[in-house]
Amino acid sequence: MKKAALVLLTLCLVFASFSPAQADMQTLNPYDGSYMGYVGTLDDGINPVMGGNDVYDNSISQTIAPGTSTISLWYNFFTWDYPPYDAPGFVIKIDGNTVLSYDAYDLSPNDDGYLDSTGWTYFSHGVTSADPHTLTIYAGNTGDDSVQSFVFIDYVNPLGSSTPTGDGLTGGTFGVGDTGTSGFINGGFEYGSLSGWSSTGDAGVLGQFDYDPEGDDGPPVPVPAAVWLLGSGLLGLLGLRKKISA
């Protein structure tokens, strides 16, 4: 009896010591509407994909007709990486000029094994309204082809234009809808399409992204009270057995 109880107690303690972390999943929804664009190699949100393209090999791009004075959008940049890699991991260019650049270091100064993100963040940039402008968004690896950086984009909006022209980006959320100012589509990838954008590498449209910020390296889950209760009970039985024997 004593030997069996000790074995059971040992097993309980071993289970408690190595209790695996449970996924604390979160869901990223579009900033607005039902879909959002993404650039970069996505993974399952728990385990980083090894490999993937260079930052400038993944892109979406659109030319905006004259009449726009400001280009704005919302972004949510994610990275598994850390210094000195993925610098940059996310870039916005207008007419070939960099107007925003984000490094993995900006989110993850140490190799913590976590999936870090900016959260939905607003960006705007003034442009000359007399000229057409090309907006290009990049995201991916820099300096290696290991763990990923990627970005979600939504609610791209050219302001100040009164010249509707053809198909284009979104005048609100990502989607396909009625043509709006500067050829942007008012609606927002609502049919899950990159219509109006040109793209390279890994890029597309997504309705939601499920992820665990702590990945597989998260802290262990607290040991359930039932494990300690069982261990205490076994110790009590041992004590009772000794008392009866005496």
CA-based nearest residue to 57, from 91, 104, 103: 91
pLDDT at 17: 47
Q: With respect to residue 168, please indicate whether it lies within any of the assigned structural domains.
A: yes
User: What is the per-residue DSSP string for 179-222?
Assistant: E-BTTPEES-STTS--TT-EEESSEEEES-EEE-TTGGGPPPPP
Query: Using one digit for the tens of pLDDT, what is the confidence trace for 127-152?
Result: 988 888 899 999 999 988 888 999 99
Return phi, psi of residue 127, to 5°. -135, 165
CATH number at residue 200: 2.60.120
Q: With respect to residue 187, please indicate whether it lies within any of the assigned structural domains.
A: yes
Q: With respect to residue 183, please indicate whether it lies within any of the assigned structural domains.
A: yes
Q: With respect to residue 98, please indicate whether it lies within any of the assigned structural domains.
A: yes
Q: With respect to residue 2, please indicate whether it lies within any of the assigned structural domains.
A: no
Report d(CA 120, CA 140) in Å as an integer. Answer: 18
Q: With respect to residue 38, please indicate whether it lies within any of the assigned structural domains.
A: yes
Query: Using one digit for the tens of pLDDT, what is the confidence trace for 176-197?
Result: 333 333 344 433 444 566 777 8
* Residue linked to tokens 């919302």: 74
Q: With respect to residue 124, please indicate whether it lies within any of the assigned structural domains.
A: yes
The domain in which residue 51 lies consists of 30-217
Q: What does pTM read for this prediction? A: 0.73
Report d(CA 76, CA 20) in Å as an integer. Answer: 29
CB atoms within 10 A of CB 17: 9
Query: Using one digit for the tens of pLDDT, what is the confidence trace for 25-73?
Result: 999 998 877 888 899 999 889 988 888 899 999 999 888 778 788 888 8
Two tokens, residue 193 = 């399409």
The tally of domains found in the chain comes to 1
* Residue linked to tokens 């039985």: 237
